[in-house]
Chains A and B, each alone.
Chain A
Amino acid sequence: DTGVSQDPRHKITKRGQNVTFRCDPISEHNRLYWYRQTLGQGPEFLTYFQNEAQLEKSRLLSDRFSAERPKGSFSTLEIQRTEQGDSAMYLCASSVDRVHYGYTFGSGTRLTVV
């Protein structure tokens, strides 16, 4: 399978716990994006990487959120001290640099904070 892979698919955690999600992009894609999607809404941009460099972060990305992409391959998104408002689908996408035809999304990680 050469698509974008995300792990885990589902995560249930207690409020206040830390969680980490992983994204494996399509191998030849140097751009990697994280989006968040809540029920009934479209995906909202969180951050993106070009290779290993994190080039932009949304104001939605509070200090409790951190993302990394070591060596420009897979990426992790960590949420510290989770809150119920963090419950959402976290989507990862990848693309080659500066393409205008959109990106390829993974199936997402659904986070439920109880």
Chain B
Amino acid sequence: QKEVEQDPGPLSVPEGAIVSLNCTYSNSAFQYFMWYRQYSRKGPELLMYTYSSGNKEDGRFTAQVDKSSKYISLFIRDSQPSDSATYLCAMMDSSYKLIFGSGTRLLVRP
């Protein structure tokens, strides 16, 4: 079993929809959680990071962490075609290494 599990998708939604992306993890020691966005043939770009449980909002993006369930989510409101990309969740271990999920491919249809 991988330390971080993420549904690969693809997830196809119409423009303006609310998108929900999720990851589960097995290591209860993870404290820091990130979401990266990766466009085709580019490196990952940090979108949001959160510490421990709770919510964090940044514009159209909201990140949620539920440590009791070992479950993290990213919500995108009013999705745009430019949001079409692969979204990677990542967790930071005790030596500050990032452990990534496999990524969810999102397509926002105009």
Which residues from chain A sit less than 8 Å from chain B, CB to CB? 4, 31, 33, 40-45, 48, 55-56, 91, 93, 95, 98-108, 110
Contact = CB atoms under 8 A, between A and B. Distances in A.
A9 B88 CA distance: 22
A27 B43 CA distance: 18
Interface stretch (B13-21, B73-81, B96-104): B96-104
Interface of B: 4, 6, 8, 31-32, 34, 36, 41-46, 49, 51, 88, 90, 92, 95-103
A107 B43 contact: yes
B43 A56 contact: no
A45 B102 CA distance: 13
A106 to B, nearest CB: 5
A42 B88 contact: yes
Contacts, number: 67
15 contacts: A4-B43, A40-B8, A41-B103, A44-B100, A45-B99, A56-B95, A95-B96, A100-B31, A100-B32, A101-B46, A102-B46, A102-B90, A102-B92, A107-B41, A107-B43
Contacts of A4: 43
Nearest to A107: B43
Contacts of B90: 42, 102
Contacts of B42: 107-108
B20 to A, nearest CB: 19
B92 A108 contact: no
Contacts of B96: 31, 95, 98-100
A42 B6 contact: yes
Given A42-B6, A43-B88, A103 B43 contact: no
A5 to B, nearest CB: 11
Given A42-B6, A91-B43, A91-B44, A101 B100 contact: no
Given A40-B102, A42-B102, A91-B43, A101 B49 contact: yes
A65 B44 CA distance: 23
